[in-house]
Structure 1
Amino acid sequence: MSMELETARKRLLAARRVAVLTGAGISQPSGIPTFRDAAGLWKDFDIEEYATPGAYARNPQKVWEWYAWRYQKVMQAEPNRAHTLLTVLEQRVGEGFLLVTQNVDGLHSRAGSQRLVELHGNIARGRCERCGQRFPLPDPARFVPPPYCPTCKARGRPDVVWFGEMLPPGAFEQAERAFAAAEVALVIGTSAEVEPAASLGWLARSSGAYLIEINPNPTPLSSQADCSLRMGAVEGMEALMDGLR
């Protein structure tokens, strides 16, 4: 075991305020493609046709059918060991823990994460176009889009943040507070290029946190990390959490 990894484990073991940021790389072992890989999600799809307010305004049925297909794929996936180890870490740290994810796949909540901020929404929910209520989508096997609000019966849209849209009110502010106050910040499986989430690791580091990055590839944040584990999310979390369970 390297000295760097041993130090990271000790710091994590002692921390009472831990902030975690996850990106698409943590869900890749569950079979969900990332956005930026050669075989990534957007390779065969034009973002402008499926993931913008303009696309939805032009052809809501087309957008919904695509999201229904993605929803079905996501619900076939299962949380992996990296997801479940984060729930172990949360239980250990308690109130001072916050997990912030850029993913919309819902795997963190399905793994049991409680102190969770989904910055970009959740693909398993709809959001009413009229009253704004969020509601779970029907089982994917019987879901025929679009869904309708259970309260006011208006059409619902996917409860995800499209390109060009604002994040959910208060979500990023909650994330900022946690990363600014963290003793240890853990950034897993994210390119560290998509703002505003990419700034969270830098914020933690500048506020004095011990910064751990788990990513098989270098990122713009790597130079700031106290410990960079060049591993996939599962391998990295297992290395970091070994002995802390």
Structure 2
Amino acid sequence: MLNLENIKEVQNIAKRTIEHIQSHTEEGMSEEDIKILAESFMLRNGINGFWYYNVGAFVLAGHRSQLSISGKEYVPSKVKVKNGEVITIDLSPVLNNTWGDYARTFYIGKSNDEINESLEFIKSLHMKFKKIYNQNSTISTIHKEIYYMILDNGFELLDFRNNFGHSIEENINLRKWFDSNNYEKFSNLKFFTFDPHIKKKGSTFGIKHENIYYYDGSNLIEV
């Protein structure tokens, strides 16, 4: 059943999985290795399956972090990750028919100013979204404002659907998209993700940062 407590439970497992991956990923591992590590951890911790076309951990490393493709087409690379490379990982666990959805970007070894700037900027997009959110606004209106914030700061949107997320459902075919073509009000979405996939113009890597949100009657809350 789609309710807050169930979403909190599955989302907490997703958050613990990202922490586990960050502490256990090393130079020389591949996307495939990291995917197996993440999915095995989730299954050991009670996850029943994976809602995104049976891809529990969508991992992209290095220049491949710029890719935006459907889970139906995703094949993890066996190329070894190098020191200083970015890794994006997007989790899609299911627990008792309830979805989790959580994505983060991190890097192997030593960071640099470009990576740190991008990671700080994508966090600022989440802060901006929480600030301008209005349940009576149309989804397309808020999408437009965030989209221009991305462009005005020298970044570009990588998502192949040009969307920033979707509603949380129990059927993948019922998702409602957070995009410029959705003229519904946000009040029609009970639980939804904010998941910008962006890169700085001229950069060789992409970044993601995804949370599930809901409106509690006065504020937008991260699950």
Larger relative contact order (C-alpha < 8 A, sep ≥ 6)? 1
TM-score, normalised on structure 2?
Answer: 0.26
TM-score, normalised on structure 1?
Answer: 0.24
If each structure's helix is expressed as a fraction of its own residues, which one has the higher value? 1
Which has more radius of gyration? 1
